[in-house]
A and B are shown apart, each in its own frame.
Chain A
Amino acid sequence: MPLTLIETIQSLVLYNRTGSFNNTTIGLAIELYNSTQDPNLTEVLATTSAITTAVNVYRFDFPDIGSYTGFATGESLSNIIREEDATSEVVSVAGSPTEMQGGLSVDTITLPTIGDAETNIQSNTNNLSSIQTQVDSLIDIFSQGISFRAYSLSSATISSGQKLPFNNESYDSQGTYDTTTYIYTIDIAGTYLFTFGWYVVEGIIATINLIRKRSGTEVIIQLSTTGSNTGNNTSFIVATIAECESGDEIYANIQTGSCRLAISDLTEPDNNTSFSGSRISS
């Protein structure tokens, strides 16, 4: 056999004696050695199984058989005989390190089942998923503490085009309510409950909008209006929920008419109406 790498051998074909002596191959096995590096023939590089059946042709396939295309029909001195005309087996080749140079580019790698290691990886994945669930729950719980409340002590009439001036704070967990602009800025996204109250000014039809301003665009998320014939100092209490994103600005704006936030001037700690918000869920 010419000197060659085991990995480049395609097949070894053994033509047996025919007739009544063909059983002399039984018990035969073939082993390949590297006589140059292993002159004492101690390390088997490839081996076939021992032959147990007497046939005319044996074909022993090596790792590179897949690259061969010129199979012969029937016996041949130049080509490897096709599988249908021989008794074939795949030769056992001793493992050797695979050397790779340059990069490797593949579309998909399908990993084999690796027993305990795979089970452990899956177990750890489940644990991580469980931890994520618990962290999400904790975020939800602590985020529920997000809230603010603002109020006014003044009974002054507020004209159209203004934001309702709730200029005092009871509490503001995130410090994002501005008592000079009367705007609450969302710190953490979520679903919020908002409430506010106001009073009718005698004979005035008022329309108050709760606004969510996002990226410069105002959207009404709740309207409150008197209509006509509503008595002086009738109170309107508004509540709604809204999905908010971080950076959204929330405020109440009087669109038409006028209103007031207290029926008479107050002193601390009395309040009549308030503007409040609370994060309820994600």
Chain B
Amino acid sequence: MTQRTEERIKVFSRSNATQFSTFEFTNVDFIVGGTYDTTTYDYTIENAGTYLMGYSYSKKNPITNNNLRGASNVRLTRGDTTYTISHTRLNERVTNTTISNCFVYRFEAGDILKTVSAGGQPKLNAYGYGGNNILNSWWGIKLTY
């Protein structure tokens, strides 16, 4: 029997800034195993295994008669290759709606993950805020032994 290798992360932002490229989750709630860079917003997997990952965000107000969507991708860099492993999109003409994503994926040690805008004008929160609350976040946890 071997002891489980723990790895988990939860990062968030209190900003309501519109995200045009990488989602800027600047704050760390917790991280065990793995590394998270609060300047590049890269999460590097330390322990190979199957992970449950999720995140949520909001979207900017649509301009009248213009349907501004809010889309996002989870981008995985493995070795020299970077590709999308999950895509989330809301095409309705709605304002400040929470958009959530959740998936399972098998990662390898050294994999680098980031969440990025995939069109429209996603933002991390409907409104900026202070205090200890976490309204939206990017999180993941290793499930397997």
Contact = CB atoms under 8 A, between A and B. Distances in A.
Interface of A: 133-134, 136-138, 140-141, 191, 193, 219-231, 236-243, 280-282
A229 B92 contact: yes
Which 9 pairs of residues, A with B, have the shortest CB-CB distance?
A227-B96, A223-B135, A227-B97, A220-B133, A227-B95, A228-B95, A229-B94, A239-B102, A224-B98
B34 to A, nearest CB: 13
Interface in B125-145: 126, 132-137, 139, 141-143, 145
B16 interface: no
Given A222-B56, A222-B137, A281 B3 contact: no
Contacts of B6: 281-282
B58 interface: yes
A230 B58 CA distance: 13
Contacts of B110: none
Contacts of A240: 10, 54, 56, 137, 139
B100 A225 contact: no
A241 B139 contact: yes
Given A224-B100, A227-B95, A280-B143, A239 B134 contact: no
20 contacts: A134-B1, A138-B1, A191-B8, A193-B52, A219-B132, A219-B134, A222-B137, A223-B135, A223-B136, A224-B100, A228-B96, A230-B92, A230-B94, A230-B97, A231-B92, A239-B100, A240-B137, A242-B10, A280-B143, A281-B6
Majority secondary structure of chain A interface residues (helix, strand, loop or mixed): strand
Nearest to A280: B141
A229 B6 CA distance: 42
Interface in B36-77: 52, 54, 56, 58-59, 62
Given A134-B1, A137-B2, A240-B137, A223 B98 contact: yes
Contacts of A229: 62, 92-95
Nearest to B59: A227
B126 A225 contact: yes
A193 B1 contact: no
A277 B145 CA distance: 20
